[in-house]
């Protein structure tokens, strides 16, 4: 309890610093997630309609064994080059954004592909039988039916991104992870919690709210 009080005290005394870290963390996560959805959901759609799709999904699944932290660290030596992509941002932020976007990839691709393939062929056939064109079948039938599973992929990706954003502190990005890393360096337990508690709440919040969204887009069976 003293630790928690200590953490609260710290936040009150360093409000600006805390809010700054929180903002960076959320901004980084949201950007990565949105960018990930923009890139990888269409890729999943392609995978579901392309003959090489299963192979691609297989490779993406296998790539999940690469530790999240590795993706960040492997890009780090190229921070100078990466920094030039978005000169208006801190180069480490850009680097972390790219890494987290990549980390959002596997759950988005895998779920989108599985969701679209999971729609019963008889339903699609029926839609065609009613006179829908190929694109109408996709936008009005297949995609809406696949949406809950795709949303589940977004949920997994969101939790992954929020968690991995803490690692960005290791390469000098001021996310909530910075309190955890400096908490250990300074051996200040309260400081550890200043990072750990909000990050956990963020992850749980994303999990719960996206699970809610998933139910919302699910059609009653």
Partner 1 sequence: MNFDYLIDHRDEVLRLTWEHIQLCALAIALALVFAIPLGVLITAYPRLRVSTLVILGAIYTIPSLAFLAFLIPPVGLGRQPAVIVLAAYAQLALVRNFQAGLSGVDPNALEASYGVGMTAWQSLTRVRLPLALPVLIAGMRIAIVSTISLATVTAWINAGGLGSLLFDGIAFNRPSMILAGTVAISALALGVDLLLRLVERMTPASRALHQART
Q: Give the interface with partner 1 as residue ranges (CB under 8 A).
A: 3, 62, 64-70, 73-74, 76-77, 159, 162-164, 166-167, 170-171, 177, 180, 183-184, 189, 192-193, 195-197, 199-200, 203-204, 207
CA dist 111 and 118 (Å) reads 10
Residue placing its CB nearer to partner 1 in the complex, 119 or 193: 193
Q: Where are the beta strands (DSSP E) in 42-194?
A: none
Q: How far is the CB of 182 from partner 1 (least distance, A)?
A: 11
Instruction: Return the number of the residue (18 or 167) whose C-beta is nearest partner 1.
Output: 167
User: How far apart, in whole angstroms, are the C-alpha atoms of residue 35 and residue 137?
Assistant: 26
- Least distance from C-beta 201 to partner 1, angstroms? 10
- Gap between the Cα atoms of 187 and 215, Å rounded: 43
**Angle of the 177-185 helix axis to the 189-217 helix axis, nearest 10:** 160
Of the pair 3, 123, the CB lying nearest partner 1 is at 3
The answer to whether 206 and 158 are in contact (CB under 8 A) is yes
Question: Of the two residues 136 and 200, which places its CB atom closer to partner 1 in the complex?
Answer: 200
Q: Select 45 or 210, whichever has its Cβ closest to partner 1.
A: 210
Q: Find the length of the chain.
A: 221
- Report the C-alpha gap between 71 and 28 in whole angstroms: 15
Smallest distance, partner 1 to C-beta of residue 41, A: 22
> Minimum distance from CB of 156 to partner 1 (Å)?
10
32 with 208: CB under 8 angstroms? no
CB of 114 to partner 1, least distance (A): 16
């Amino acid at each position: 309890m003293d630790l928690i009080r200590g953490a609260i005290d710290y936040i009150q005394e360093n409000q600006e610093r805390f809010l700054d870290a929180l903002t960076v963390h959320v901004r980084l996560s949201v950007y990565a997630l949105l960018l990930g959805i923009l890139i990888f959901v269409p890729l999943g759609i392609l995978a579901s309609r392309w003959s090489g799709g299963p192979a691609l999904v297989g490779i993406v699944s296998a790539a999940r064994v690469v530790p999240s932290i590795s993706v960040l660290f492997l890009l780090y030596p190229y921070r100078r080059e990466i920094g030039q992509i978005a000169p208006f941002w801190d180069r480490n932020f850009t680097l972390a954004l790219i890494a987290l976007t990549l980390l959002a990839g596997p759950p988005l691709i895998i779920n989108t592909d599985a969701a679209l393939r999971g729609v019963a062929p008889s339903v699609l056939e029926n839609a065609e039988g009613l006179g829908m064109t190929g694109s109408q079948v996709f936008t009005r039938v297949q995609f809406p039916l696949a949406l809950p599973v795709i949303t589940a992929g977004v949920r997994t990706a969101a939790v992954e991104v929020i968690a991995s954003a803490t690692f960005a502190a290791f390469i000098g990005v001021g996310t909530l992870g910075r309190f955890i890393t400096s908490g250990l360096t300074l051996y200040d337990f309260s400081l550890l919690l200043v990072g750990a508690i909000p990050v956990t709440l963020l992850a749980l919040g994303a999990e719960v709210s996206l699970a809610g969204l998933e139910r919302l887009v699910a059609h009653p069976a």
